[in-house]
Amino acid sequence: MNVSTDPDVRTQIVATVRDFVKNEVAPIARQYDDEDLYPHHLIDPMREMGLFGITIPEEFGGLGLDHTTFAMIFEELSKGWMSVSGIIGTHHVMAHIVAGYGTQDQKESILPRLATGELRGALGLTEPEAGSDVQNIQTTAVRDGEEYVLNGSKMFITNAENGNALAVLAKTDPDSEPRHRGMSCFIVEKPATGLKIGQHLDKLGYRGLDSAEVLFQDCRVSTDALVGGVEGQGFKQVMFGLEGGRINVAARAVGVATAAFEAAIKYAQQRQTFGQPIAQHQAIQLKLADMATKIQAARLLTYEAAAKKDKGERIDLEVGMAKLFASEMCGEVTLEAMRIHGGYGYIKDFDVERYYRDAPLMIIGEGTNEIQKLVIARRLLEKYSI
């Protein structure tokens, strides 16, 4: 459970990130997105700001900030270029898993290196035949003395190429019923014998950040790599980590939508038709009003989920609602921003076309919105059972 961050400290941290985005991220976003270039030169400034350890407890070298500040940071990064937030996205999912369920030795060994960015984490969850159906994963981990041998493949893995550690979900008991009780989570550090990075994926959006296939071919890891030291807990551990992941995805959606709205309202006051700025036309005003209202609603849903997480409360309902609403809102707002720009919104000289391409990532990432709706409905039926 995170202690609430002092408001003055929060303001200072968010302002620092905002300046970083303005001076370092925004100027390169268009070129790096277009050429699908990884922003290696941004890593050291991000490390210096402590962005690899936002919510990692101070005792392990992190900033120990609350999840509301965490969300604000992701929002600011995503306003500049959403791909930059991905550098620390699944990294924090991995950190959350270790902080929540790791042994004391694992916490002391792994968390300080995550906090400094010496270790840059990824999440090895999705597979070619197992996306939303997590329990259908085929990757196995078989114990062999003081080691586990991993075999299988993962797909769409963010930070696979440029990260150097993965939290990998694998089956240690393939015959278990229910299936999720046969899953375990391992922290696999590079280099590891039998670990190979496969195809680099050329994506519609979320460009400049590596997403790739990860292959395990008789990959051997020490038994110390088993999170918590006990088999069969991996599904629960990863779902716990994904709670924080959904906060950051919702915050990213708010950030991208805000950037699109700000671009649209600025353009609407500059572009003239029929002798006046298009911002004076009611059709445009109605769009702007809807966009701003939906963004603020998504922001508040995200902050509410973050605040409940810091209190140690169950948040699968709240974070599911936040992720669902914010991501769908982002898709709508970025399209409306493009429509306000007209033909100019469809060309790469204007950033709204990038915002529009980035928006779908939040809809399908960190659990598709169709799955989110099922989770929300299931929790509502529990809450209102008769």
Q: Which two tokens stand for residue 252?
A: 């990213």
The CA–CA distances, whole Å, from 375 to 44, 181, 308, 317 equal 38, 19, 18, 7
Q: From the candidates 48, 118, 366, 370, which is the catalytic residue?
A: 366
DSSP string covering 210-228: -EEEEEEEEEEEEGGGBGG
How far apart are the C-alpha atoms of 278 and 269, rounded to whole Å? 7
How far apart are the C-alpha atoms of 80 and 30, rounded to whole Å? 10
SS3 247: helix
Q: Which two tokens stand for residue 141?
A: 């981990």
Residue with tokens 């306003």: 79
Q: What are the DSSP E strand ranges found in the chain?
A: 121-124, 140-144, 147-158, 165-171, 183-189, 195-200, 211-222, 272-273, 276-277
* Pairing assessment for the beta strands 140-144 and 147-158 based on DSSP bridges: antiparallel
Has 177 been annotated as catalytic? no
**Helix axes of 352-364 and 26-35: crossing angle, nearest 10 degrees:** 70
Give yes or no for a cis peptide into 178 (omega within 30° of 0): yes
Cross-strand partners of 144: 147
108 and 131 in contact (C-beta within 8 Å)? no
Measured at the CA of 158, the angle between CA 137 and CA 198, to 5 degrees, comes to 70
How far apart are the C-alpha atoms of 187 and 214, rounded to whole Å? 14
Terminal CA-CA length for the chain:
32
How far apart are the C-alpha atoms of 192 and 329, rounded to whole Å? 41
Measured at the CA of 53, the angle between CA 16 and CA 124, to 5 degrees, comes to 125
State the catalytic residues. Answer: 366
